[in-house]
Amino acid sequence: MESLVRALVRDEVDANGEIRARRSTGFVVGLTGRWGLGKSSVVALLALRLGSMEKVMVANFNPWLLKGGDDLLTGFFNSVRSAVGKNLTEEIESLRDDIDRYWGAINFAGTAVATAADPSGLVSKIFTWRPGRTELSPETERKRLEEKIEKLGCAVVVLIDELDRVEDDDVRAVARLIKAVGEIKGVSYLVAYDPRRVAEALGRGNPEAGERYIEKIIQHPIPLRPLFVDDTRALLADSLERFGSTLPAEPSESEQEILDHVIQAIETPREVKRLVGAYSVLEGAVRGEISAYDVLGYCWLNTKAPGIRDIISDNVEAVVDDPGVKEISNRVTQRMDTGKDGDVVSILGSAVAPQRQTIELLFPRFLDHKESGSGNRLSRRRNLVRMLYLGNPPGMVHRTDVERVWSMRGKTLEIELEKLRAAGTLPQLLDRLDDLLEELPAATEDGFWVGLSSSFIRKSDWLFTPEDARSLATDVSTSLMRIGIRDIRQQTRVHRVFDALVKSNDLVIAPWILRKAMRANGYSIHSNTFLREAVFDRVKTKELMDSELPRYRDAILSGFALKRLPTLEVFFALTNAARWDEELKSSLIEQLQGAAAIGTFAALLVPPGFTTELSTIDELCGADELNSRMSELAKHENPYGDPWVAECARRLHRILNGRDPMFADDDDDDDED
């Protein structure tokens, strides 16, 4: 800031070092930078700094508020007169009369001043004699004005902002104005503008010609430096604080990727302001439901390319990690036909290409590495719908329909849920249920949760076709647990439902909730006590582990867990608790005989969009033995039947062979020979 002050104003000191006068340098200084980089903020700060200095008069001239040559000229001199008028001394106040005399002497018909300003022919006439003042000479009045400023020992600084926001004709008019009056001794100018935009306007589409013209006007161009990463981080943190918003500490790896990407992509302070403004509104609307980092990335996407929101809205199933059965089949067909998944542009269209990286980070189904699991990610179907509509989207199930199903019990509920699944509307009902849970009567809800959990159990052994039970069960479990997380007063309600599920021998919802409690309370090999995503305290969690894990163990040893359950939650509860032993391992490898069993295991462990570590498979059942069995099956034509199950099996086989499960390669053909 002080460097800009010195470029515009110089001090004259006496023998004692006291300032006796201030003089304008007479320079026309250009403050350059792209739109939004913060030029206006710098101009505003500079105005405050100069305005605090004695013997300095600051005129703020904004051409964006004016139109045409006459208006610009009037606005310019009015801004100078106004700056002088703010001084209280009578001597300086008299300077306004000299400004008026010079203003009145300027001739629209073309004076020596205007002619000198237009050597290239680009400049048209911009000055006019004011009526009744034809006896004044512009040259004489200018010298009178300069002598008065010199005598007063004061500096006049004109700050011209937002030149790059006006129409092309007005850019040229302001440039002519600066060139014509910029030679007044005792007056300095600072002009803030985007050099590319102004060069195009001055050159009438020929930037090189425009740049040559700028060189005749601006004596000292000073580029405003771009934002560096540390600048952006500081600006983002400051803006979040001012808006009363926050980003949670300790983001996951993929959440950190989103934050780093946004910080790298931001180029101007204006972009930070727009981003945080949008984030503060949307994050407040979905707080506790969707990852704050995903909300930040989504807001960045919307501020840079608002039209992409509609494209995503039209393709929800195509971008989420947990699509419906139809979309799952479409993805399998795509992979079989082309050997790879569709990319962002091929699925959403060329309009999204500039924002490709942001979309890939928000919807990791497009990435090679994918973080499966967390139910609060935007890539989950329910969360994306909630974000897009910030409420209930068109076609969502009505409240009365939710209340009707909520009140059902036993066989009636079972039939209704099966009907909804067959019609493909159960996901919509569950989405709506999540919105209404805290308002629905709690006294009679136990039977609903028990019936809902039972509906996810396969009616026959093995999984032979694509099914949505896995994602639905996860959504349902998340919804129930979050009742207690959002409102501690509701935790007793969740505890009662959990007890009812356990009493009914539930192996779908209860294991999911218990595994979250184990993780939050430090009883899991993947513990994360920071998140505290649990509705049970440490003591209660330990009690439940002692009572529940033996039940999960029995379900696995009997073969029921593999044959009928929609998820592997009971398996992972035992492994996370470090209670998976040789007996369980031997039992599971014994169960994995034939295509039906192995295909089911693969579909539950690594469906499209999910992966796992080779070490996990080895712990569960012995990777080498399973690999040998799958290699034998691969020698037969279509051993798994359904293409979706076959794709899951291929993914599992790639992991067993140390390859990337996300993409097919030439070795896959060898596996199937």
Instruction: Concatenate the DSSP letters of all residues of 255-300 into one string.
Output: HHHHHHHHHHH--SHHHHHHHHHHHHHHHHHHTTTS-HHHHHHHHH
**CB hemisphere CA count around 638 (13 angstroms):** 6
Helix pair angle (643-656, 594-605), 10° resolution: 80
CA gap 372, 269 in Å, rounded: 34
Structure tokens given for 532: 């505290």
Q: How far apart are CA 542 and CA 40, in angstroms?
A: 60
Identify the pLDDT of residue 68. Answer: 57
How far is it, in rounded angstroms, from Cα 350 to Cα 629?
Answer: 44
Q: In sequence order, what are the beta bridge partners of 59?
A: 158
Residue 364 to residue 659: CA distance in whole angstroms: 19
CA–CA separation, 157 and 144 (whole Å): 18
Find out whether 461 and 448 touch, Cβ atoms under 8 Å: no
pLDDT beneath 50, residues of the chain: 107-134, 369, 371-373, 529-531, 666, 669-673
* Structure tokens that stand for 187 in this block: 């007056």
The pLDDT value recorded for residue 531 is: 47
Amino acid at 550: P
The separation between the first and the last C-alpha atoms of the chain, rounded to the nearest angstrom, is 73
Output the furthest CA–CA distance in the chain (Å, rounded). Answer: 112
Backbone angles phi, psi at 586, to 5 degrees: -65, -40
Give the per-residue pLDDT at 38: 75
| CA atoms of 139 and 342, how far apart (whole Å) | 72
Give the pLDDT score at 490. Answer: 82
Q: Which helix (H) or strand (E) holds 10?
A: strand 9-13
Q: Is 202 exposed, middle or buried (0-12, 13-18, 19+ CB in 10 A)?
A: buried
* DSSP element (H, E) containing 355: none
What is the distance between the alpha carbons of residues 542 and 172, in angstroms, rounded to a whole number? 77
- Report the C-alpha gap between 319 and 235 in whole angstroms: 32
Tell me the C-alpha distance between 239 and 523, whole Å: 38
The domain over range 2-223 is classified in CATH as 3.30.70: no
Report the half-sphere exposure of 530 (CA within 13 A, side-chain side). 6
Say which amino acid occupies 448: F
- Using alpha carbons only, give the angle 517, 567, 651 rounded to the nearest 5 degrees: 120
pLDDT tens string 498-543: 999 999 999 999 999 999 999 989 999 887 644 456 789 999 999 9
Contact 289, 438 (CB under 8 A): no
Which DSSP symbol is given to 665? -
Under a CB-based contact definition with an 8 Å cutoff, are residues 196 and 204 in contact? no
Q: By C-alpha distance, which of 467, 429, 466 is closest to 448?
A: 429
pLDDT of res. 530: 43
Strand 28-32 and strand 155-160: pairing? unpaired
3-state SS, residue 457: coil
Instruction: Let me know the angle formed at the C-alpha of 597 by 591 and 598, rounded to the nearest 5 degrees.
Output: 105
Which sign does the torsion angle of CA 645, 648, 653, 654 carry? positive
- How many helices and strands in the chain, by DSSP H and E? 36, 7
Q: Please tell me the predicted confidence (pLDDT) of residue 456.
A: 94
Quote the CA–CA distance of 1 and 222 in Å, as a whole number.
Answer: 12
Instruction: Please tell me the distance from the alpha carbon of residue 200 to that of residue 213, in angstroms, as a whole number.
Output: 11
In degrees and rounded to multiples of 5, residue 188 shows phi and psi of: -110, 155
CA 321, CA 110: separation in Å to the nearest integer? 70
Amino acid at 365: R
**C-beta atoms surrounding 601 within 10 Å:** 25
Closest CA to 626 of 652, 600, 605, 648: 652
CB of 315 closer than 8 Å to CB of 363: no
Residue pair 99/77 in contact by the 8 Å Cβ criterion:
yes
Asked whether 387 and 286 are in contact (CB, 8 A), the reply is: yes
Are 25 and 3 in contact by the 8 Å Cβ rule? The answer is no
The residue behind tokens 């994995």 is: 592
Ramachandran sector of residue 432 (left: φ over 0; alpha: ψ -120 to 50; beta: rest): alpha
Q: Which helix (H) or strand (E) holds 380?
A: none
Structure tokens at 84: 């002088």
What is the residue extent of each domain of the chain?
A: 2-223, 229-389, 413-671
Backbone phi, psi, residue 222, to 5°: -120, 105
Residue with tokens 């935009």: 197
In this structure, what are the phi and psi dihedrals at residue 299, rounded to the nearest 5 degrees? -65, -40
Task: State the pLDDT at residue 123.
Answer: 34
Burial class (CB in 10 A: 0-12, 13-18, 19+), 506: buried
